[in-house]
Amino acid sequence: MRAIWHDIECGGYVEDLEVWRGLAHRQGGPILDVGAGTGRVTLDLARQGYAVTALDVCGELLATLRERAAGLDVTTVVADARSFELDRRFPLCLVPMQTIQLLGGAEGRGRFLDCARDHLTAGGLVAIAIADELEPFETSTATLGPLPDVQEIDGTVYSSRPTAVRITGDRFVLERRRETVTIDGRLDVEDDVIGLDRLDATTLTAEGIAHGLRADGRIEIAPTEEYVGSTVVILRG
């Protein structure tokens, strides 16, 4: 079930793919994709001929990725981004879609940056996407908020609707209402809540420098009607 919701809520995002393709063309492979999920970025790059190691803390998501990667040069690794140890080095490490903001503040980011630095080849890059500002909102009877993401799978309809974004201290709190309607009409409802660390590009760059990396620029990804914009911070080993 986690893979289904991950696909519905994240799988349709394509606006960043050209950024990762461009960096892959610039650096070459193999590539490390951190927070790979069900393979949105990994599979796109693997289909372009790159060897990709997909790392995620969730084995269920990676199991789905492995099924989709049949015949491609993809390796999956179940590991925490803050404590992984691999037996190879990479000219490019990608951290798409705000994964860095799920790591528990500066301490967690620092542990990741140390891991990433230690897994880069000489002159390798780590490229990290962040959402530095999210617009708070809350749905009500007067304001319905964003439209839901909806998908039908084998007769079951899955719907995930953002219901609120709140600022709580140093975090953004994102709330969604997930609804499942089975083929026989049974409705199941659950609320999903995730927290993202509030983080800006200047702070992340400074943290990267403090952990032995060098600043190598930024790339802006414009927002769409469905997704917020983001900044890709690039650090060099």
Predicted confidence at residue 149, as pLDDT, reads: 83
Helix, strand or coil, per DSSP, at residue 176 = strand
Same domain, 27 and 91: yes
Same domain, 115 and 180: no
Same domain, 51 and 30: yes
Predicted confidence at residue 48, as pLDDT, reads: 96
How high does pLDDT run on average in the chain? 92
Confidence of residue 228 (pLDDT cuts 50, 70, 90): confident
Same domain, 104 and 30: yes
**Number of folded domains in the chain?**
2
Tell me how long the chain is. Answer: 237
DSSP-assigned states of every residue in 18-29: HHHHHHHHHH-S
Q: What angle do CA 18, 78, 205 make, to 5 degrees?
A: 50
Q: Whole-prediction pTM value?
A: 0.92
Confidence of residue 198 (pLDDT cuts 50, 70, 90): very high
Predicted confidence at residue 106, as pLDDT, reads: 96
CATH number at residue 149: 2.20.25
Token digits of residue 207: 């943290």
Which domain covers residue 172, as residue numbers? 137-196
Confidence of residue 67 (pLDDT cuts 50, 70, 90): very high
Predicted confidence at residue 142, as pLDDT, reads: 47
Neighbours of 212 (CB within 10 A): 12
End-to-end CA distance of the chain: 38
Same domain, 110 and 175: no
Predicted confidence at residue 236, as pLDDT, reads: 97
Same domain, 35 and 106: yes
Pairing of strands 120-130, 187-197: unpaired
What's the rounded mean pLDDT across residues 184-206?
A: 92
Predicted confidence at residue 92, as pLDDT, reads: 98
Q: How far apart are CA 122 and CA 113, in angstroms?
A: 15
Same domain, 17 and 107: yes
Predicted confidence at residue 197, as pLDDT, reads: 94
What's the rounded mean pLDDT across residues 68-74?
A: 96
Please say whether the beta carbons of 207 and 106 come within 8 A.
yes
Same domain, 58 and 122: yes
pLDDT tens, position by position, 86-143:
999 999 999 999 999 999 999 999 999 999 999 999 999 999 999 987 877 787 644 5
pLDDT tens, position by position, 4-43:
978 888 888 899 999 999 999 999 999 999 999 999 999 9
Same domain, 14 and 116: yes
Interior/surface letters 148-178, b for 16+ CB within 10 angstroms, e for the rest: bbebeeeeeebbbbbbbbeeeeebbbbbbbb
Q: How far apart are CA 206 and CA 191, in angstroms?
A: 36
Same domain, 114 and 69: yes
Predicted confidence at residue 129, as pLDDT, reads: 97
Same domain, 128 and 144: no
Q: How far apart are CA 109 and CA 138, in angstroms?
A: 29
What's the rounded mean pLDDT across residues 169-196?
A: 90
CATH number at residue 21: 3.40.50.150
Token digits of residue 138: 């809350």
Res. 144: pLDDT tops 70: no
Can you tell me which residue has the tokens 């199991």?
Answer: 63
Res. 148: pLDDT tops 90: no
Predicted confidence at residue 133, as pLDDT, reads: 78
Same domain, 30 and 92: yes
